[in-house]
Amino acid sequence: MTQAPAVSPHFPVMLAEVLDVLAPKDGALYVDGTFGAGGYTRALLTAADCSVLAVDRDPTAIDRGREMEREFDGRLTLLHGCFGDMATLVTPVLNERSLGGVDGVTLDVGVSSMQLDQAERGFSFQSSGPLDMRMAREGVSAADVVNEFDEADIASIIWIYGEEKRSRAVAKAIVARRLEKKFETTAELAELIADVMGPRARAEKVHPATRTFQGLRIFINDELGELARGLAAAEGLLSAGGRLAVVAFHSLEDRLVKRFLTERTGKSGRPSRHLPEALDGPAPSFEQVTRGALKASKSEIDINPRSRSARLRGAERTEAPAFPFDPDALGMKRFAALQGDLL
């Protein structure tokens, strides 16, 4: 059996489909809110004589991107910060260039392949590293959570963000183990979780620690709150006719994007698809570009297994005003409460 080729950390997921949604054109200005290794940014700059404002909260990604910034000489501007703060980061550039908005925004949500591959960042249990998981290298780390947080709070994080059914058993085992020795590495935590799940779980294709690690990472980096703020920021920055392309990898993320676009395209007011759309309420700020969520092709999944869980949703900005930002309407209430209580 032929072994699949190693996945390049520079492989941008669903690149062709993202470009299809954004439809890059000469003279346009785009925002890549999750620069990472620069895959989408490079593709945009190559597809048209356009400019890109690239945002990333990880200082390592910004430092690594300086060479690309020089390569495209004036067409690429790197901005260090969270994509949830896009409006604050991008507006000064728009003012400087006397522009009213941008022509496209793309977001590739979640942890990047390069971060996963760096054992010292502590995102993955594939190779042991310090129990960190912080994208911006500041704030509470995964080690802080498992070694200091109450058992009930650890269980809530793993259940709400990781959707781990055995969250209470995992949290109980974590607290018992840390009384003997505090957790320092990803391998230590992954091994404990595997023991809790038992031999049958160890034999499964998906590692038994996957959901716990995912829950910790999403909580530590406030990834859902960041996504909600980022979607609202993109809505405010996009000019009429500008396009939004969002690639999500987790059901919680994709659900949030779907809810945002359902509301913004005026599709949320009908109790039945056979009834006409509601006429009251604000005018839709987006029009649907993709029909539902697009998935990666089989050929891409064969080359890059990470793309298997990817879901792309795209929309085009209308001339209507942006909606007021209401996190509760996006289903953020329980997530915001947990973040506020524990961080």
Residue numbers of the domain that contains 164? 137-220
Q: Confidence class of residue 185 from pLDDT cuts 50, 70 and 90?
A: very high
User: 314 and 234 in one domain?
Assistant: yes
CA 113, CA 31: separation in Å to the nearest integer? 20
Angle at 14 between CA 252 and CA 51, to 5 degrees: 105
pTM: 0.88
- Average pLDDT of span 178-203: 88
Q: Confidence class of residue 202 from pLDDT cuts 50, 70 and 90?
A: low
Of 249, 222, 235, the closest CA to residue 82 belongs to 222
Measured between alpha carbons, how far is residue 96 from residues 66, 92, 233 in Å? 21, 6, 19
User: 107 and 246 in one domain?
Assistant: yes
- Average pLDDT of span 177-200: 92
CA 229, CA 225: separation in Å to the nearest integer? 6
Which tens digit of pLDDT belongs to each residue from 228-264? 999 999 999 999 999 999 999 989 999 999 999 999 9
Eight-class DSSP state of 320: S
Angle at 67 between CA 61 and CA 71, to 5 degrees: 130
Domains identified in the chain, total number: 2
* 341 within some domain: no
Q: What is the CATH number of the domain that holds 152?
A: 1.10.150.170
What does R_g of the chain's alpha carbons equal in angstroms? 21
User: 228 and 323 in one domain?
Assistant: yes
User: 318 and 233 in one domain?
Assistant: yes
User: 295 and 146 in one domain?
Assistant: no
Q: What is the pLDDT of residue 7?
A: 38
User: 156 and 103 in one domain?
Assistant: no
Which tens digit of pLDDT belongs to each residue from 130-167? 898 888 777 899 999 999 999 999 999 999 999 999 99
Q: What is the CATH number of the domain that holds 41?
A: 3.40.50.150
Measured between alpha carbons, how far is residue 237 from residues 25, 49, 70, 71, 240 in Å? 18, 21, 26, 26, 10
User: 103 and 23 in one domain?
Assistant: yes
Q: What is the pLDDT of residue 122?
A: 43
CA 177, CA 72: separation in Å to the nearest integer? 52
